[in-house]
Structure 1
Amino acid sequence: MRALCATDLSAASEVAIQNQTCLDCLGRIGVDEIHLVTVVSSNVHAGMPGIDFESRRGAALDRYCDVITRAGFEVETHVVRGTPHRRINGIAEAIVADLVVVGSRGKSPLENRVIGSTARNLARTTVVPLVVNRIERGDEDLAPVRKHLFRHVLYATDFSENASRAFEAFTYLRHATRRATLVHVRTPKDPELTAAEHPSAMDRLRERAETLEEWGIETEIDVREGDPAGEILRSEAAHSPTITLVGSRGQSRMRRLLLGSVSEQIVAEADANVLLVPPSRA
């Protein structure tokens, strides 16, 4: 598998890239090639007085490459100019990336959780599965919110086609996943469905749980009712997963639920990491 790791050379990006546990997690799911991408704003020029961007960027990328190479990955760097999320998406398509990883600052004790503009824009436009790796300030320094990216996955589904596509991510996540929580949120807009026409939400979740348990993943089910994004976030708070897995821009045949807005809210407000799976490129 080929992963693209986006970095703006900030402290949060450095923590995300240099965290050995996160690299180990990527290795377990089959990643063997990592492309480091940093996007330079068109407003930044090497000749700006008092700022040596070129040497700083080169030193940082050399340091990151050394860490990634020693962890056993092939590594390649890309330095480009333009709008970050557009250039990241373009490179992801060009190299046929299987995964994009971006670090995102968490919240401080004095402020609400916010998400960087690049991570937010990638959540809206990503063309490949996107991992938002949460970084927050601890007592002394920045650190990942959850060291193990994929150990406990909370999978949110509305049973749409794209939610099913997100579930397929378990085919590679299972090598690093020990626990899974499957959550479905019923809304007042759900039509009345007879058992003869459709299996119940619980039955559908049980089918998925059986698949995961065959792979040795301890699985639990959580069916809720209310606002989808709010209840998924409450489920995350209740189960404390290391990552929340959700599809984007899906639409269920059972009800009109555009997961684009739901997934965007989850990416913006979740406490843990998020794995966002977009529709198929085809």
Structure 2
Amino acid sequence: MFEKVLICTDFADGLHRLANFVSSFGLAGIKEIVFLHVVPLYEKGIIPRVDSEKIEQAETRLTEAVGENITDVEVKTVVQSGKAVETILKVAQTYKSELIILGSQSRSLLTEKLVGSTMVDLSRQTRVPLLIVRPQLIWAYTCEELALRCQHLFRSLLIPYNGSQVADYLVQQIKHLAEKEPGKFFQQCKLCWILENSDRPRITQKILPQQANETLYAIKADLESVNLQVDTEIREGSCVTEFLDIAVMADISAIAVSSGTMGKLQEWLISSFAAEILRRSWYPVLFFPSQNS
């Protein structure tokens, strides 16, 4: 699926632990991993400057974490000083990264408004997919569990669908990934359409279960043409609540989402489905920035 991966760590998120599982990443088809740590500029004084001491400490820590790599996966470590988002974008471009992995604590929309979010800022400025993981999971997994997690990063994806342009875009991205190496690293997915049972007035016509089923059947056939095992489910209720309930029993590796409003004014006014999944899900979330990013 993804051959070149950029893993961004601030050490507090635990993602540097993944350096111990390079061989497992190789079993997931990954051929190059870049571990990146961004050191904030030292801002005591009139002019911000590079904090050479912290850079040296971080370089030592990353080098020790990676150790001697004896696998076929090429591993690099990068420590740079500057602003997080700008540096991540620059490094991703330099190494032609196909996926950026980030750690993110669950947070409210209000918290994002006040302190910001690296993931949200990145989603507005890059077309590179983002894999968002909870630091708590990285901390809690045993080495055996992490090895399996890294090996099966994207074996099974849970995919929301609602007939929108963004949903169609997400499905096309999923199909594109499956076409790369059919049935090898990405094996199955589950398509879920949650029909809102809200009484709120809607501009668009309400979708009936039969219509949703027919649409999902056509998408299923299209995805099965690239050797994916596809399951579908339709429910009625609250979109986020029902979707996360499905995730609990679906035996998935990650949730895949996209959004046309992430980081934009609309998102501050009315939180999107994708944004709520990113804030509330304990599962890894594979986020595809929209084509308008």
Q: Into which bin does the TM-score normalised by the smaller protein fall?
A: 0.7 to 0.9
What's 2:46 paired with?
none
Tell me if 1:15 matches 2:20. Answer: no
The alpha-carbon deviation at position 139 of structure 1 amounts to 8.3
Question: What is the alpha-carbon distance in structure 2 between the residues aligned to residue 64 and residue 172 of structure 1?
Answer: 30
Shift of 1:180: 1.2
Whether the 8 Å CA contact 1:123–1:267 is kept in 2: the answer is no
Partner secondary structure for residue 181 of structure 1: strand
Separation in structure 2 between the aligned mates of residue 231 and residue 276 of structure 1, nearest angstrom:
19
Contact 1:158 1:184 in 2 (8 A): yes
Letter of the 2:170 partner, please give it: A
Q: Is the 8 A contact 1:146 1:272 kept in 2?
A: no
Distance 1:6 1:134, change over 3 A: same
Task: Please point out which of 225, 236, 244 is paired with 1:225.
Answer: 236
Q: Secondary structure at the match of 2:272?
A: helix
Deviation at 1:260, TM superposition (A): 6.6
Stretch of structure 1 that moved more, 229-238 or 73-82: 73-82
Amino acid at match of 1:60: R
Return 5+ residue gaps in structure 1 as ranges: 106-112, 252-257
Give the match's secondary structure for 2:14.
Answer: helix
Q: For 1:21 and 1:221, locate their aligned partners in 2 and report how far apart those are by CA, in whole Å.
A: 33
Distance between the aligned counterparts of 2:270 and 2:285, measured in 1? 14
Tell me how far apart the structure 2 counterparts of residues 74 and 145 of structure 1 sit (CA, whole Å).
18
8 Å Cα contact 2:20/2:66 also seen in 1: no
- When residues 8 and 265 of structure 1 are mapped into structure 2, their CA distance, relative to the original with a 3 A threshold, is same
- State whether structure 2 residue 187 is matched by structure 1 residue 178: yes
Output the CA distance in 2 between the equivalents of 1:265 and 1:243: 15
What CA distance in whole angstroms lies between the structure 2 residues aligned with 1:220 and 1:243? 15
The AA in structure 2 aligned to 1:169 is I
Cα pair distance change 1:85/1:265, threshold 3 Å:
farther
Change (3 A) 1:22 1:83: farther
* Equivalent AA in structure 1 for residue 159 of structure 2: Y
1:19 partner SS: helix
Give 2:237's aligned amino acid.
G
Look up the match of 2:165.
161
1:276 positional shift: 0.3
Counterpart in 2 of 1:62? Answer: 63
Structure 1 range deviating more: 235-244 or 113-122 = 113-122
Partner AA of 2:219 in structure 1: R
Deviations 1:94-119 (A, max 9, x none): 544321112346xxxxxxx5599899
In structure 2, the residue matched to 1:108 is none
Give ranges in structure 2 of 5+ residues lacking alignment: 44-49, 263-268
In the superposition, the TM-score normalised over structure 1's length comes to 0.74
Aligned structure 1 segments of 4 or more residues deviating by more than 6 angstroms:
115-119, 139-143
C-alpha contact 2:155 2:188 (8 A) present in aligned 1: yes
Distance in 1, matches of 2:261 and 2:211, equals 20
Deviation at 1:278, TM superposition (A): 0.5
What secondary structure does 2:260 align onto? coil
- 1:122 equivalent among 119, 124, 142: 119
Q: Which amino acid in the other structure matches residue 79 of structure 1? A: V
- The root-mean-square deviation of aligned C-alpha atoms, in Å, is 3.8
Percent identity, aligned pairs only?
19
